[in-house]
Amino acid sequence: MTLVDNAVYVDGRRTADPSSLDETYELLRERNGMAWIGLYRPDKTEIRSVAAEFELHELPVQDAISAHQRPKMERYGDTLFVVLLPARYLDDVERVEFGELHLFVGPGFVITIRQAESPDLPRVRRRLEQSPELLRMGPEAVLYAILDQVVDEYAPVVAGLENDIDEIEDQLFVGDPSVSRRIYDLSREVIEFQRATHPLRDMLSGLEQGFDKYKVDIELRRKLRDVADHVERVVERGDAFRELLQNALTVNATLVAQQQNEEMRALTEASLAQNEEVKKISAWAAILFAPTLVGTIYGMNFEHMPELAWDFGYPMAVLLMIATGFVLYLVFKRRRWL
């Protein structure tokens, strides 16, 4: 059901709960109070209906129909069109979910068009209905209460993001390979959070500039300034989170580069050690090859070898093998192969 809550208020008190939009329009004309129409993902017909009844400008109506708007506040005559991006932190998946809320605030009416579960507008209604003196201030009081609720719901998001960043800082120094992806994903969420919160400063500043022109109650002015202070703190936290994540990316890149350098150094040291072993093996192979070559030649038992009949042939062959091996040993030793 798209019409989630619908009421007519007179002098700050709920006087009727019409079951349809047409009934709301009729009661509003009879009682000359304030209508608060709450819609949840309405279709074009319902949006066109309230647009026709309250003479809403075509441009914001088209925005409300198409949705997916950036946060903004625009004034069309006596009507304010406000787009907010509420958020909530989902603990089970450690992710920020963003919604979208459109408000039409004009003389004698407030229309809220919610595209997601947040913000908790029923809670806002209950709060205002328990404070008739606040609700008596009219549509601007409803706008204040919704802004206050949206900003309050940013607090758990800030806490959740802060906790995620703390976990990332722990992951950085334990060599968790998944930390790069997590930093990237969290950075995107923080950027989306900044897009939702940064425009609120200009919205509230614009409201403050119109306090005198639209004769806003002094108490309501104080409350809106209090919301502005909360927004400023939320924005500052979001900016700090983005800076921390940028630093985390830099640190992670440095740690990865350092780890790669250490691995390369270890590979280089292993390669050098292997080269030294190969040199030693090659040197000893060459030293042993020379006597083997001499022995092999004299072991071929040719009939016509002058040294075979020579009395000093055997000592000469042994001496030649020893001398050759010794000379090769000195050469390899000098070249530091041994």
Mean pLDDT check: name the lowest of 70-74, 152-156, 330-334: 330-334
Q: Which of 234, 250, 90 is nearest to 183 (CA)?
A: 250
Residue 143 reports pLDDT greater than 60: yes
Prior bond of 119 cis (ω within 30°):
yes
Domain boundary among 235, 258, 281: 258
Residue pair 132/138 in contact (Cβ under 8 Å)? The answer is: no
Mean pLDDT of 216-235: 93
Whether residues 217 and 293 share a domain: the answer is: no
Q: What is the pLDDT of residue 300?
A: 67
What pLDDT, in 10s, does the model give residues 237-270? 999 999 999 998 888 888 777 777 887 888 877 7
The two three-digit tokens of residue 7, written as one number? 């009421």
70 C-beta neighbours (distance < 10 Å), count: 11
From the list 234, 70, 91, the residue with the least C-alpha distance to 151 is 234
Judged against a pLDDT cut of 80, whether residue 329 lies above it is answered with no
* Residue 200 and residue 283 in one domain: no
Q: Is the pLDDT of residue 23 over 90?
A: yes
Clarify whether residues 248 and 298 are in a common domain.
Answer: no
Is residue 286 over pLDDT 80?
Answer: no
pLDDT at 96: 93
Q: Which domain holds residue 312?
A: 272-334
Domain assignment present for 167 = yes
- What is the model's pTM? 0.77
Residue 265 inside a domain? The answer is: no
**Contact of 5 with 23, CB cutoff 8 Å:** no
Residue 148 and residue 75 share a domain: yes
Whole-number pLDDT of residue 130: 94
Q: Quote the number of domains for the chain.
A: 2
Residue 17 in any domain: the answer is yes
In this structure, are residues 103 and 73 in contact, taking their beta carbons and an 8 Å threshold?
Answer: no
Residue 184 has a CB neighbour count (10 Å cut-off) of: 11
Geometric angle at alpha carbon 62, from 61 and 65, rounded to 5°: 90
Same domain, 63 and 29: yes
Q: What is the pLDDT of residue 304?
A: 65
Same domain for 303 and 179: no
Q: Is residue 230 part of a domain?
A: yes
Question: How many Cβ atoms from other residues are within 10 Å of residue 95's Cβ?
Answer: 14
What local confidence, expressed as pLDDT, does residue 250 receive?
A: 87
Q: Three-state SS across 165-206?
A: HHHHHHHHCCCCCCHHHHHHHHHHHHHHHHHHHHHHHHHHHH
Mean pLDDT of the chain: 88
Residue type, 105: V
Pair (140, 284) in one structural domain: no
Residues 181 and 51 in one domain: yes
Same domain, 309 and 215: no
pLDDT at 153: 96
Give 35 or 322, the one with higher predicted confidence.
35
Residue 47 near residue 65 (C-beta atoms within 8 A): yes
| Arithmetic mean of pLDDT, 158-175 | 89
Same domain, 200 and 233: yes
Task: Give the pLDDT confidence of 73-129 residue by residue, as tens digits.
Answer: 999 999 999 999 999 999 888 899 999 999 999 999 999 999 888 899 999 999 999
Assess whether 239 and 302 both reside in one domain: no
Which CATH number is 138's domain given? 3.30.460.20
Whether residue 198 sits in one domain with residue 159: yes
* Per-residue confidence (pLDDT) for residue 303, from 0 to 100: 65
**Are the beta carbons of 153 and 118 closer than 8 angstroms?**
yes
Backbone φ and ψ for 138, nearest 5 degrees, come out as 95, -165
Element (H, E) at 48: helix 44-54
143 touches 105 (CB < 8 A) = yes
**pLDDT of residue 27 exceeding 70:** yes
Write down the pLDDT at residue 105: 96
pLDDT in tens, 196-225: 999 999 999 998 888 888 788 899 999 999
pLDDT, average across residues 141-157: 96
Predicted pLDDT at 1: 52
CA distance 80 to 64: 13
Q: Is residue 235 part of a domain?
A: yes
The two tokens of residue 102 are 């459109």
Spatial separation of the C-alpha atoms in residues 292 and 276, rounded to whole Å: 24
Q: Kindly state the tokens that stand for 196.
A: 């939702």
How far is it, in rounded angstroms, from Cα 167 to Cα 171?
6
- Integer Cα distance of 36 and 3 in angstroms: 11
Cβ atoms < 10 Å from Cβ of 77: 10
Which residue type, as a one-letter code, is found at position 275?
N
pLDDT-derived band at 308 (thresholds 50, 70, 90) equals low
- Domain for residue 264, yes or no? no
Residue 263 lies in a domain: no
Q: Is 266 domain-assigned? A: no
